[in-house]
C-alpha cells in the first residue's frame, strides 16, 4: 500500500463508509422514518451528514429486527437486545444477546456478541488485505444498541450492563471516543441518543497507585461528601479502609498465576470486611469485592447494607502493561448495585498523590440516571 493509499484510508476512517449492499436503507423506508426529523441527542459534538445519520439509523433498525426475531425464535429469556458494531476500519457486524441457560454461565449481551462478530470479520478482512506495512488494529468506533421493543414503545435509551461496561473499560479494543447509539423518546418523538464511552465510564483512564502513605490527602466529590454525612463516615474511617486494603494487598500471595494483586475492604452494617483476589487457575480467579460481600451477607443476610468500597491493587497483569486490566471490578459492582449497595455507596481509590472518594453513582453515571432495578 502506498503512502497516498494510507492517507486516503485514514481519511476514510473519519467518516462512515459502508459497502454497496448496505446502502439501500430499506429499513428506514420500511419503518417510514424521515431522517431529517430524527434529532440527535448528545453531549458530544456530532457533525453527521444526512448519509452518515442514515447509516446509523439503518444499522440500529437492523439490530432492532435481529433482537425481535431472537425473542420470537431463539432467546430463552425472552429479552431481546442486539447491536451493530462498527470498527475504525468501517467494518460492521451484527450480534444479538445469547442465552444457553437462564444463569450467568452462558449469557452474552448483544453488544459483546456484535463485538466478537466484528472482531472476526476484521480478522478475515485483514487476512484478505494483509500487507506488511499495516498492523492489525481492531478498535470499536460505534456500538448501535437496539431492543426488541416496538419503536413507538421506546422511552429511555438502553445503557450497557455492567458486564459489557467491564469490557468497554479495557483499553485495547475501545477508547474514550467510542460512541454508543440507541433510540430514545424525547418530547414524544423518536430520537437518536449518542453517548461517548467517557460519559459512561469517566474513571476509565484514571489509574490508581500501589504506593500508600497515611499522609496522602483525601479528596471527596460533592456526592461523596453528602453520602459520608448521611452515613456518618469520617476521614478517619476512609483512612482505615485504605490502610486495611493496603495491608491485605501486601500480604496476598495467592496471585502468582495472574500477577495482578488486588485487595478490597468494605464498610457494611458498621463493620469492615476485607479480602484478596485469589487466582484459581491461569484464567479463573475470585474477585475480592465479592469475597467481602459474601462475608457481609453471611452475617447480615437481607439486611446487608454497604456504605463504602475501597479497592487497592495492581492496574495491570504482568506482561500486559500496555493495556490495563483495571483494579475496580465493574462486573462485581453490577452484582451488588441496587441490592446491597446504592448509588450513594462510596468508592475509595488510592491515586498517586491523593485518595479519591467518589460514589457508585459517579463511577457509573449513566446507570445512576437509568436507576435500573435488579
User: Closer CB to Zn ion, residue 96 or residue 350?
Assistant: 96
Q: Quote the least distance from Cβ 183 to Zn ion, whole Å.
A: 17
Q: Burial letters for 124-156: b for 16+ Cβ neighbours within 10 Å, e otherwise?
A: ebbeeeeeeeeeeebbbbbbbbbbbbeeeebee
Stretch binding Zn ion (CB under 5 A), from 108-116, 278-286, 291-299, 301-309: 108-116
Pairing assessment for the beta strands 140-147 and 179-186 based on DSSP bridges: parallel
User: Closer CB to Zn ion, residue 60 or residue 161?
Assistant: 161
Size of the chain in residues: 374
Sketch the per residue contact string, 65 through 104, with Zn ion: x for CB under 5 A, - otherwise: ----------------------------------------
Q: Which residue is listed with cell 474477585?
A: 287
Sheet-wide strand order for 217-220: 217-220, 354-359, 346-350, 306-313, 262-268, 271-276
- Under rule CB under 5 A, residue 158 binds Zn ion: no
- Under rule CB under 5 A, residue 165 binds Zn ion: no
Sketch the per residue contact string, 111 through 150, with Zn ion: x for CB under 5 A, - otherwise: ----------------------------------------
- Under rule CB under 5 A, residue 161 binds Zn ion: yes
- Say how many CA atoms lie within 13 Å of 108 toward its Cβ: 14
For residue 310, give the C-alpha cell.
475501597
Q: Tell which one of 28, 57, 93, 109 touches Zn ion (CB under 5 A).
A: 109
- Under rule CB under 5 A, residue 164 binds Zn ion: yes
What is residue 106's DSSP assignment? T
Stretch binding Zn ion (CB under 5 A), from 33-41, 72-80, 163-171, 260-268: 163-171
Q: What does 303-365 look like in DSSP terms, one character per residue?
A: G--EEEEEEEE-SS-TT-TTS---SS-HHHHHHHBTTTB-TT-EEEEE-SSEEEEEEHHHHSH
User: Closer CB to Zn ion, residue 97 or residue 275?
Assistant: 97
Per-state percent for the chain, helix, strand, coil, to nearest 5: 35, 20, 40
- Under rule CB under 5 A, residue 296 binds Zn ion: no
User: Closer CB to Zn ion, residue 146 or residue 310?
Assistant: 146
User: Closer CB to Zn ion, residue 140 or residue 224?
Assistant: 140
Number of residues counted as binding Zn ion (CB under 5 A): 3
Binding site for Zn ion (CB under 5 A): 109, 161, 164
Amino acid at each position: 500500500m502506498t503512502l497516498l493509499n494510507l492517507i486516503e484510508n485514514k481519511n476514510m476512517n473519519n467518516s462512515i463508509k459502508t459497502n454497496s449492499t448496505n446502502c439501500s436503507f430499506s429499513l428506514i423506508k420500511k419503518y417510514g422514518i424521515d431522517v431529517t426529523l430524527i434529532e440527535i441527542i448528545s453531549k458530544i459534538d456530532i457533525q453527521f451528514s444526512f448519509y452518515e445519520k442514515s447509516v446509523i439509523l439503518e444499522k440500529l433498525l437492523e439490530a432492532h429486527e435481529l433482537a425481535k426475531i431472537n425473542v420470537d425464535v431463539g432467546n430463552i429469556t425472552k429479552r431481546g437486545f442486539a447491536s451493530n458494531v462498527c470498527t475504525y476500519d468501517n467494518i460492521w457486524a451484527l450480534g444479538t444477546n445469547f442465552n444457553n441457560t437462564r444463569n450467568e454461565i452462558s449469557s452474552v449481551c448483544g453488544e459483546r456478541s456484535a463485538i466478537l462478530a466484528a472482531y472476526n470479520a476484521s480478522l478475515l478482512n485483514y487476512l484478505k488485505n494483509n500487507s506488511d506495512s499495516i498492523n492489525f488494529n481492531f478498535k470499536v468506533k460505534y456500538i448501535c444498541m437496539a431492543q426488541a421493543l416496538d419503536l413507538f414503545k421506546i422511552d429511555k435509551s438502553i445503557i450497557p450492563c455492567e458486564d459489557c461496561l467491564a469490557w468497554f473499560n479495557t483499553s485495547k479494543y475501545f477508547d474514550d471516543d467510542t460512541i454508543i447509539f440507541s433510540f430514545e423518546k424525547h418530547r414524544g418523538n423518536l430520537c437518536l441518543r449518542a453517548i461517548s464511552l467517557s460519559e459512561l465510564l469517566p474513571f476509565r483512564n484514571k489509574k490508581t497507585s500501589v504506593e500508600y502513605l497515611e499522609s496522602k490527602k483525601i479528596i471527596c466529590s460533592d456526592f461523596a461528601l453528602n453520602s459520608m454525612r448521611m452515613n456518618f463516615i469520617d476521614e478517619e474511617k476512609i483512612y482505615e479502609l485504605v490502610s486495611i486494603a493496603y495491608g491485605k494487598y501486601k500480604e496476598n500471595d495467592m496471585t502468582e498465576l495472574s500477577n495482578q494483586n488486588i485487595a478490597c475492604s468494605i464498610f457494611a452494617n458498621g463493620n469492615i470486611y476485607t479480602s484478596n483476589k485469589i487466582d484459581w487457575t491461569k484464567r479463573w480467579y475470585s474477585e475480592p469485592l465479592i469475597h467481602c460481600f459474601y462475608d457481609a451477607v453471611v452475617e447480615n443476610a437481607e439486611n446487608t447494607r454497604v456504605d463504602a468500597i475501597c479497592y487497592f491493587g495492581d492496574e495491570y497483569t504482568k506482561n500486559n502493561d500496555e493495556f490495563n486490566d483495571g483494579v475496580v471490578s465493574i462486573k462485581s459492582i453490577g452484582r451488588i448495585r441496587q441490592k446491597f449497595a446504592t448509588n450513594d455507596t462510596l468508592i475509595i481509590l488510592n491515586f498517586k498523590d491523593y485518595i479519591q472518594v467518589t460514589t457508585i453513582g459517579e463511577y457509573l453515571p449513566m446507570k445512576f440516571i437509568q436507576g435500573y432495578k435488579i
